Structure 1
Amino acid sequence: MNVEEAKRIVADQKEFVEEKLSMNYIKREVGDISRFLVIPNVLAILGVRRSGKSTLSLMLMKELNVKFAYLNFDDESLYGLTTKDLKSIEQAIYEVYGNDVSYLVFDEIHNVKGWELFVSRLRETKRIIITGSNSRMLSGELSTSLTGRHSDFTLFPFSFREYLRFKKMNEEVPLSTKRIAEVKVELEKYMEVGGFPEALIIGKDQIDVIYNDILFKDVVFRYKIRELEKFKDFSKSLISYYSTEVSLSKLAKVIGVDRKTIDLWSFGLENAYLIYFLPRYGEKPRERLTFNKKVYIVDPGMISRVAVRAKDKGRVIENLVALKLFRDNQLKGLYYVKGKDFEVDFYDEINSRLLQVTYASDKIEEREIRSLLKAEEMLRAKELIVITYDIEGEEEREGKKIKLVPLYRFLLS
């Protein structure tokens, strides 16, 4: 690619960015991620396709009020770009934006093979944001090239708080009976349509488009999958196991492929942020590798559109709780707990708390309480929580306090 051709692409994208910057967007709950923008550190905003990564990057630049350049490498005009072409891209950026540009935003730059060394050189003088819909971009050569000098942040589709903000509703925890009723009505809608911005703007049919883009652009294309029909069956089956333990060996037999293939396919879906595997807690790391994992889906709207089983509201609620924990902990220190005669949905090791999820609206089943107490005896967690659909309060058993928290309150906390 010559410099003039690169300049045209950069200039075209600049016009698009200027138009986007003039629009109003929903403020995302991401904390102060601007603190990671220090030389020579690189901020990597990662997450599922269409979750708003590029918009978040631009909002951050607007808030900081800095001079920056933006380039989206998912542009079809840049298909097939090589590391040699990046020199022309760099020159084009300076000619279009000026030599004094101090921040660089590179969207989906992992589409260019060997991009790591390019970013590694630029980070010595520029503050850089990279975005990506593939978690592998932080493995291998990137980690080697940046020698640990990068900070990654995983972005999800809208949380329930952000969804209410989009609907122009008060996202604070409601207190009055009327406000609680209004929030619960919206929560039911959120369980159905989810939080992909495009689905909320265009309609829930857009989830089908997003799903297919994830499958083909982020998995099939990257991993060169040839058995398309079997892969699509596998993806639907795995999504249908939401909030439950899954045996990949059994799925391999059902689909009719070997375990190695199933491992690659599940690895691809996980790296595309479509699914998340939650490990079972084990005192030894080796135990955690051998236990079956539970699977959760990136957005409730994806469950309602793709899962082939009848929708189970209790499992959807558990999936919502999982997503809240994944967001808050940035995917770190989370497990499920299972013993001979008990199971607890979540162990948040970072905050030392055990969480049980139930679709209870009038009475908590005794087995839920017993499971929490048995897990507490094993892990000595500081906080025991039962997340219900509609019950709020506190119980005391065996000298231990157990909080009962309604789902809407937990999601808005």
Structure 2
Amino acid sequence: MIDMLKEIILDFQEIDLPTGVPRRVAVSPVPGKATVCIGVRRSGKSTFMFQLMKKLQDTGVARQNILYLNFFDDRLHSLQHDNLGVILEAYFSLCPEKKNAEKVYCFFDEIQVVPGWEPFVDRLMRMEKCEVYITGSSAQMLSREIATQMRGRALSWEMFPFSFREFLDYKGIESDGPLSTKKRLTVQKAFEEYWETGGFPEVAGLNRMLRIKTHQEYFNAMLFRDLVERHDISHPKAVTDLAHWLVDNTGSLYSINNLTGYLKSLGHKAPKPAVSDYLEWFEDAYVLFTVRIFDASLARANTNPKKIYCVDHALVTSISSGILVNSGHLLENLVFTALRRVTPDIFYYKTKAGREVDFIAGRQGPSRMLVQVCESMADQQTRKRETTALAEAMTELKLSHGIIVTRNEEEQIQVDSGKIDVVPAWRFLLNMPESA
């Protein structure tokens, strides 16, 4: 195994780093803590690692001081937790002069596939002169393991597929600062492309058929590697049937009861606790997200129906079953992912009169956002319904500002509790901060 590791380490030191499009994720390493980057698979975590390595090299760190291993590499399959120590043995046998003398930068990709990795990383940080960077596609596993085993010696950042601004970076379109008419038209045209392709870095620029095929492969890998294999699920068909139902119903309400009933109607014997677990695991893998009603009582929030959203709106169109997904729900999904990049605190809101607002996002305080999503405000009844619900919520929550995200419309509406900005989706996405 040591010879194999040495070969992998040396091979990596010889390749040019594929750094891709710089990401707008402000990761700040803290001395004595591992830097952890978690997110859905294929969102660009490995490329982001290479960007961090390139920055280190630009500040004078030698390539030999950077150790990189990707634990999805088949050659590392036999590396079980009882012999992770051979990694350091292999590295220091190549560079014995660096041990305890120079800082070594360790980058471990998808380390969660190796059972018992945490004590190894913990020991590495306590015993060696190391700075450690980790990626993983499992929020719960990483956060739980880090909390229990690494005792505050790690800081986590989330990585999502390209935001709209990152997509503009990929296209080479300048989006910071005020927009001239020409620049605005360029940004709007790029938004139409982003609307079609979504944010996964590899699908940008692919034709429609290749994009759909790539998305479908991603989805299958997410389901089988991040759910079925990781949790040793004995009825994988129930999980895939559930995942497809949820994607077909993105932006819609669900309850555990109706999901359990649906699976039963297909002949699956999945009890309610199993269905709850599946939903938690979808979220854990950053594939599907649950949004609860805004309620001070957790018990009430849990008994009310919940909404489901996907990590990428274009992934929905590529894997939905041909039942045309409501484009209003797709727009809602796009807005959800933009909000989720900034905060995990997202709920839907029901006013005392029973009117619904799509999102309340952020913690208590003036930065909290109330967002309604509506494809078009042209119909007077729709306009009245959306603004009334938002105005009621603003009054009840003592907020003086609300937002309605549309496909193309823009205006400002004064209401008793303050002002409502009606903004097109492209402008809403540009106005969003990149991360918390």
Give the TM-score of the pair, scaled to structure 2. 0.87
Tell me if structure 1 keeps the 8 A contact 2:293–2:301: yes
Tell me if structure 2 keeps the 8 A contact 1:352–1:382: no
350-359 or 48-57, larger mean C-alpha shift: 350-359
Match of 2:89 among 88, 91, 94: 91
Task: Go from structure 1 to structure 2 and tell me whether the alpha carbon gap of 1:221 and 1:181 turns closer, same or farther (over 3 Å shift).
Answer: same
Offset of 1:183 from its aligned partner?
A: 2.8
The residue type paired with residue 146 of structure 1 is M
Find the aligned partners of 1:382 and 1:285 in 2 and give their Cα distance.
26
Q: Give the SS at the match of 1:287.
A: helix
Q: Give the SS at the match of 1:310.
A: coil
Residue 385 in 1 paired to residue 403 in 2? yes
The residue type paired with residue 352 of structure 1 is R
Residue 39 in 1 paired to residue 31 in 2? yes
Find the aligned partners of 1:12 and 1:116 in 2 and give their Cα distance.
26
Task: Go from structure 1 to structure 2 and tell me whether the alpha carbon gap of 1:45 and 1:291 turns closer, same or farther (over 3 Å shift).
Answer: same
Tell me if structure 1 keeps the 8 A contact 2:395–2:417: no
Match of 1:337 among 338, 349, 364: 349
Find the aligned partners of 2:103 and 2:144 in 1 and give their Cα distance.
29
135-144 or 271-280, larger mean C-alpha shift: 135-144
The residue type paired with residue 268 of structure 1 is W
Q: How does 1:29-178 map to 2 (within 5 A)?
A: 29-31=24-26, 33=27, 35=28, 37-65=29-57, 66=61, 67-96=65-94, 98-99=98-99, 100-124=102-126, 125-172=129-176, 175-178=179-182
60-69 or 157-166, larger mean C-alpha shift: 60-69
Find the aligned partners of 2:378 and 2:404 in 1 and give their Cα distance.
13
Residue 14 in 1 paired to residue 13 in 2? yes
2:421 maps to 403
Find the aligned partners of 2:307 and 2:420 in 1 and give their Cα distance.
24
Task: Go from structure 1 to structure 2 and tell me whether the alpha carbon gap of 1:201 and 1:76 turns closer, same or farther (over 3 Å shift).
Answer: farther
Runs of 4+ in 1 over 6 A off after TM superposition: none
Residue 365 in 1 paired to residue 367 in 2? no
Residue 353 in 1 paired to residue 369 in 2? yes
Unmatched segments (≥5 aa) in structure 2 = 265-269, 432-436
371-380 or 361-370, larger mean C-alpha shift: 361-370
Match of 2:23 among 24, 28, 34: 28
Find the aligned partners of 1:208 and 1:185 in 2 and give their Cα distance.
26
CA-based RMSD:
2.0
Tell me if structure 2 keeps the 8 A contact 1:10–1:96: no
Q: Give the SS at the match of 2:230.
A: helix
Find the aligned partners of 1:318 and 1:343 in 2 and give their Cα distance.
13
2:332 maps to 318
Tell me if structure 1 keeps the 8 A contact 2:68–2:108: yes
Find the aligned partners of 1:396 and 1:111 in 2 and give their Cα distance.
53
Task: Go from structure 1 to structure 2 and tell me whether the alpha carbon gap of 1:261 and 1:80 turns closer, same or farther (over 3 Å shift).
Answer: farther
Residue 223 in 1 paired to residue 231 in 2? yes
Find the aligned partners of 2:6 and 2:278 in 1 and give their Cα distance.
38
Find the aligned partners of 1:399 and 1:116 in 2 and give their Cα distance.
51
The residue type paired with residue 141 of structure 2 is M
Find the aligned partners of 2:178 and 2:354 in 1 and give their Cα distance.
37
Q: Give the SS at the match of 1:279.
A: strand
Offset of 1:172 from its aligned partner?
A: 4.0
Find the aligned partners of 2:415 and 2:401 in 1 and give their Cα distance.
13
Find the aligned partners of 2:417 and 2:346 in 1 and give their Cα distance.
26
Match of 2:289 among 260, 273, 276: 276
Residue 301 in 1 paired to residue 320 in 2? no
Residues 261-286 of structure 1, C-alpha deviations (whole Å, 9 max, x = no match): 21222222111111111121102233
346-355 or 312-321, larger mean C-alpha shift: 346-355
Task: Go from structure 1 to structure 2 and tell me whether the alpha carbon gap of 1:399 and 1:73 turns closer, same or farther (over 3 Å shift).
Answer: closer
Q: Give the SS at the match of 1:84.
A: helix
Task: Go from structure 1 to structure 2 and tell me whether the alpha carbon gap of 1:146 and 1:382 turns closer, same or farther (over 3 Å shift).
Answer: farther
1:211 maps to 219
Length, aligned pairs only:
403
Find the aligned partners of 1:87 and 1:247 in 2 and give their Cα distance.
46
Seq. identity, % = 33
195-204 or 212-221, larger mean C-alpha shift: 195-204
Find the aligned partners of 2:202 and 2:113 in 1 and give their Cα distance.
23
1:263 maps to 276
Find the aligned partners of 1:189 and 1:247 in 2 and give their Cα distance.
34
